[in-house]
Structure 1
Amino acid sequence: MLNKTWNGVNQSIVHSMSSSYLQSVEGLVKNIKVNRSNGLDSDNLDLKFCTSSNCNVTVFDVGMNMNKTTGIMKTICIKNLMDKLKNNYRGTQMKPTSSVVSVTLTANNDSTVGIELNFPKENQSYEKPFCVFWNTTLQDWSDKGCTLKTRDGNHTVCQCDHLTAFSVLMAKGAISNDFLDIITSVGLGVSVCSLLIFLIVEFLVWSAVVKSNLSLFRHTALVNIAVFLLLANSCFLASSSPKDMSETWCLVSTVCKHLFFLAMFSWMLCMSVMLVHQLIFVFSPLRKRVFMFISSIVGYICPILIVGCSYVYCKYTEKPYYSPETCWLVYHALLDGSIHAFILPVGTVILTNVFSMVVVILTLVKSSVPDGKTDDKETIKSIIKVVVFLTPVFGVTWIFGFAMLILDDGLFQDICSYSFTILNSFQVI
């Protein structure tokens, strides 16, 4: 039963079934009468008994140590169940370990208990472990009474002051931060208002500002960037509480955010390439028909193809396209997960746009040195203006988001998290 994937069943039903299975196993183990048996060992279950005062047992490579005065300690380790339980912890989808360990104590009168569990580290790309237990009342993981004692590259040691089903959840880095959530919500709200004002102004002055092809190209790209960013931010705000959304709406929200953000970056690419072309080929300007045709393919068709292909691929391979706990794409490991259908195209656009920015700055520096005379102050001012304007327009601030995936948990990752949140939430202003 545990070796099967449980596909074709609604995710909420899978979570309920796996929780009921865990409770049933715990109840069965608790009622087992121990005579001379040393336990049970099968492919997915490893059961051990301990009657001594100093219990030190190992079940499926998970070490367990507990001191007691009387009673029988029963320890069972269950494999292939963790991925079926609800592994959302503090609003963040976590990477579960392969085992959950349940410990029960019978015929014991100790007023307090203390247990230490040593879990082998399995997910090397996930850096931050959390010691948790399964709360049968809430049907969710909790860390109450459990603390992380030590961790290294191979093991995670947890200490708990009660007995139940324990495990370790792994996160790529820091999990949900209330302060960052507030900054994000406020920033996105302000950005949505600013984008609406910008689009209204563009509509009112459109005929006056697009008198040349260059102006038409620039404002067409800016309007498309603003429209798709407005739609993406609105979807992000609408899905800020995934637990209150149905799976259907969560999927729709994920697809929309994936599509709108990709379309926004695609138009950023169109704008940067157009700008570089105008600087390099001064006497061979782009024709209106050519620009609109290529931009329509890059800005509209390509994002639709990427989103559609990634969704079909996930369906065909029976891999999750989105996480119901976050209403966003899934990250498992490097090059594993639907998030790479977003990261790879966006990363390509950002690298191209950084190159375009460098070309613009070099051209500006070169043109500011006529006849060997240099005005350093004016040159520096011009470069600063270019960087300040092009950095958000070209999406360069998203580099901090890529840094968050690469860096280990620590000061630098916190700096990148705050920088990414603040700069991208308020970038429209």
Structure 2
Amino acid sequence: MALLAAQMSFLLGADQTSNQTLCKITAMTIHYLYMCVFCWMLVEGINLFIKVVLVFNTEKSKLMYYALLGWGMPIVIVAVCAGVAWGQYATKSSCWIGSGNPLIWSFAGPAAVIILLNLILLCIVARILYRSIRSVDKAGSDKIKAFWTATKGTLTLTPLLGITWIFGFMAVGGATLVFQYIFIVLNSLQGVLFFLFFCFLNKEVREKVKRLFEKMKLSSAQFSSSSVAPEKPLMMTEKNRAEMRRRMSTTVDTTLQGNDLNEERLKQHKEISMKVEVSAPVSLPEPLG
């Protein structure tokens, strides 16, 4: 988020020099946002070091400390710079700190320190990974595959930790045109690299996105089935009405005939029962003794 805001602020506001006061505020905003970018890169490096090296010290949440470092430290840097050298924050040609201005070190100095710290942390993490791979008893092909996976993971961390900004320091002067092109390409694609390595190529992220799409598809199917309009009743023609009346009359006649037949059978059954009762002899009980 800080990187997106910094890039958009620089692209939209760096050349708005008509109002010098607004131009200075724009330069301060860009300075703050880029300092946030670098501070969050340092947060990523520290978090990576804690996860890999200090494995048993990851129970407590450090989000509050990370937020203070990522968003709070740049406020201190920019506030000090604005208080000391407010008039040097912008030039007549751009709303940014000029390269010949000593104030540029308020940006380049912290950035260089953060890049150096992240480079050291990345080397420590890579050393631990390679040592752990070497200590595991694996076949030659499996060990080579593990080394390649660790190398690929280390390389993908370089844009996240700001290591590519090293080319920005190398791209000072006219004789370093190659480094300028490398710096421009790598850092203009920094957001794309973040998305590619940590979203698109991340198996966890892909699985979560897949489950989200499946849930959305299921919800859409349920909504479609519940919102289907009821079928319209068929129009009754005169022929259909006549056929229905005929069937109803047939059903009624059959029911009445069945009732008459049942009454006739019940009457015959009663007459047979009365004849049997009259003709049956009466047996008296035998005397006792």
| TM-score grouping bracket, smaller chain normalisation | 0.5 to 0.7
SS at structure 2 position matched to 1:328: coil
Tell me which residue corresponds to 2:75.
Answer: 304
Asked if 1:255 is matched to 2:28, the reply is: yes
Tell me which residue corresponds to 1:342.
Answer: 107
Deviations 1:202-253 (A, max 9, x none): xxxxxxxxxxxxxxxxxxxxxxxxx10010011011025345x421332122
Unaligned runs of 5+ in 1: 1-226
Tell me which residue corresponds to 2:94.
Answer: 326
> Residues 196-345 of structure 1 correspond to what in structure 2 (within 5 A)?
227-243=1-17, 245-288=18-61, 291-315=62-86, 320-332=88-100, 337-345=102-110
How far has the Cα of 1:404 moved from its partner? 2.0
Tell me which residue corresponds to 1:379.
Answer: 146
Q: 1:365 aligns with which of 95, 115, 130?
A: 130
> Residues 374-413 of structure 1 correspond to what in structure 2 (within 5 A)?
375-405=142-172, 408-410=173-175, 413=176
TM-score, with length taken from structure 1: 0.42
Supply the AA of the counterpart residue of 2:158.
Answer: T
Measured at CA, do residues 324 and 383 of structure 1 come closer, stay the same or move farther in structure 2, by a change above 3 Å? farther
The number of equivalent residue pairs is 190
CA distance in 1, matches of 2:89, 2:15: 19
Deviations 1:5-63 (A, max 9, x none): xxxxxxxxxxxxxxxxxxxxxxxxxxxxxxxxxxxxxxxxxxxxxxxxxxxxxxxxxxx
**Would the aligned equivalents of 2:39 and 2:74 in 1 still touch at CA under 8 Å?**
yes
CA distance in 2, matches of 1:359, 1:280: 8
CA distance in 2, matches of 1:292, 1:341: 26
Higher share of residues assigned strand: 1
Measured at CA, do residues 320 and 417 of structure 1 come closer, stay the same or move farther in structure 2, by a change above 3 Å? same
**Would the aligned equivalents of 1:401 and 1:416 in 2 still touch at CA under 8 Å?**
yes
How far has the Cα of 1:338 moved from its partner? 0.9
CA distance in 2, matches of 1:268, 1:322: 26
How far has the Cα of 1:306 moved from its partner? 0.2
Q: Of the two, which has the highest radius of gyration?
A: 2
> Residues 47-66 of structure 1 correspond to what in structure 2 (within 5 A)?
none
Identity %: 27
Measured at CA, do residues 371 and 300 of structure 1 come closer, stay the same or move farther in structure 2, by a change above 3 Å? closer
Q: CA RMSD in A?
A: 1.9
**Would the aligned equivalents of 1:236 and 1:257 in 2 still touch at CA under 8 Å?**
yes
Unaligned runs of 5+ in 2: 193-289
**Would the aligned equivalents of 1:400 and 1:419 in 2 still touch at CA under 8 Å?**
yes
**Would the aligned equivalents of 2:133 and 2:147 in 1 still touch at CA under 8 Å?**
no
Deviations 1:366-415 (A, max 9, x none): 1212445454531342233223321111011110111123xx422xx101
Higher share of residues assigned helix: 2
How far has the Cα of 1:418 moved from its partner? 0.5
CA distance in 1, matches of 2:143, 2:181: 33
CA distance in 1, matches of 2:116, 2:110: 10
CA distance in 2, matches of 1:389, 1:265: 17
SS at structure 1 position matched to 2:102: coil
